[in-house]
Amino acid sequence: MDLGLKDKVAIVTGAGGDAMGTGVCLDLAREGACIITNDVDREWADKVAKQVVDLGARAVPTYADVTKLADCREMVRTTLDAFNRVDILVTIPAYPKLGWFIDSSEEELHRIVDVTFWGVVNAVRAALDPMIEQKSGSIVCLGSDAGKVAPHREVMYGTAKAAVMHFVKGLATEMGPHGIRINVVNAAVTKVPQMVQSGWLTPEKEARLSQQYPLRRLGTPQDHVDSILFLCSERAGYITGQTLSVSGGAI
């Protein structure tokens, strides 16, 4: 299926980590898009940009801290200098720190919200100006079903992800008349490299968790990448303000 993404200009925040952000960058590149690979970790931003170029697409790395609106505005200025427009924004970053609310420090609670919610708001706000001028654009925010089910030991993370869904729903009504679509792809527990490398996701734990899902497996980064690319594309041209749970049927 041709997604019509050739020569589109896409910003991906949280491009590093060999998980969803990296996968989105590489699959957008395979579709012929030009990519801004943004990550606060400069090595990751540069590494993914090189991978995009190796696929034959154009890429520019940026290093915005998405908790700062000024950084996000600079990221967008760099995009406009390089490619003259912004067609797509995909926001990936989150800070899913587990812990009991009552035991969490003020600093930890603010960090969760700053990255998980304000990191989305700042990137979106910065990207909207050129999109409004163009009268077109597609924004996809990576969410989490933690924002729906409020799992224990994730009070602030779940709250921040619920806020992302509400933000997107409300903003879609404002941006629709400007030709801009904005949606959320919610993840459940996803088997990402960091989980395995850290030892958190053992084979035994994966087998146990998989039983909670009707499809009897955990999600993979590619499961989410596929859904994100669809919503970025004009194949989803009449979809906005929606939250899609990519959760193996759990939600």
Q: Are 3 and 67 in contact (CB under 8 A)?
A: no
Q: Is 194 helix (H, G, I), strand (E, B) or coil?
A: helix
Q: Is 213 a catalytic residue?
A: no
CB-CB neighbours of 125 under 10 Å: 15
Q: Would the CA dihedral through 16, 58, 140, 233 be positive or negative?
A: negative
Q: How remote is the C-alpha of 131 from its chain's centroid?
A: 18
- With beta carbons less than 8 A apart as the criterion, state whether 42 and 120 touch: no
- What is the SS3 assignment for 99? coil
In DSSP terms, 185 is beta-bridged to 142, 244
To the nearest 10 degrees (0 to 180), the angle between helices 221-232 and 20-30 is 50
Of all helices (H) and strands (E), which one includes residue 141? strand 137-144
> What's phi and psi for 168, nearest 5 deg?
-65, -45
Please tell me whether residue 20 adopts helix, strand or coil conformation.
Answer: helix
Query: Rounded to an integer, what distance in angstroms lies between the CA atom of residue 4 and that of residue 28?
Result: 11
Q: Are strands 88-91 and 9-13 parallel, antiparallel or unpaired?
A: parallel
Q: Which of 63, 157, 213, 238 is catalytic?
A: 157
Could you give the residue numbers annotated as active site? 157
